Amino acid sequence: MKQSSRLTRSEDINRVREQGKSFVHTAIVLGRLPNQLNENRIAVIAGRSVGGAVQRNLAKRRIRSAIQSFQGELKQGFDMVVIARKSILAVDYPALVDAMRKLFQQAELMKDKFN
């Protein structure tokens, strides 16, 4: 994920979490809020409930990798926050990718196949 496409300011992350719409899976939570840009900005968060530093970093790497597989299929112009839940470490990678796809579809972030 490019540095310019990361959502890093805590004010922006809090704005997405408070004003945006959330979509929940057992392993991850996706929050989205439209922005005024022509690109998506994404924050990946793994709190202490996920585990120690090694487990949190693993969870974030897995989420970023899953998001990367959808970069060409996502609509542009959204701020997104993806939060890892404790159960993420028990989910295998293909199931995580499938969960991300379902959340992106629920959030209406996937491009239409006809565009």
pLDDT for 25-42, tens place per residue? Answer: 999 999 999 998 888 899
pTM of the model: 0.88
Q: Residue written as tokens 């939060």?
A: 83
pLDDT at 3: 63
pLDDT at 38: 87
- Residues 6 or more apart in contact with residue 7 via CB below 8 angstroms: 13, 16, 41, 42, 43, 79, 80, 81
Say if residues 91 and 66 touch (Cβ distance below 8 Å).
no
pLDDT at 27: 93
Residue ranges of alpha helices (H) inside 1-115 are 10-19, 53-68, 93-106
Taking residues 69-98, what's their average pLDDT? 92
How large is the greatest C-alpha to C-alpha distance in the chain, in angstroms?
A: 44
CATH of domain 3-105: 3.30.230.10
Taking residues 68-81, what's their average pLDDT? 89
Parse the chain into domains and list their residue ranges: 3-105
Rounded to whole angstroms, how far apart are CA atoms 110 and 23?
14
Is the confidence at residue 114, as pLDDT, over 60? Answer: no
Strands 78-84 and 41-46, sheet pairing = parallel
pLDDT at 98: 94
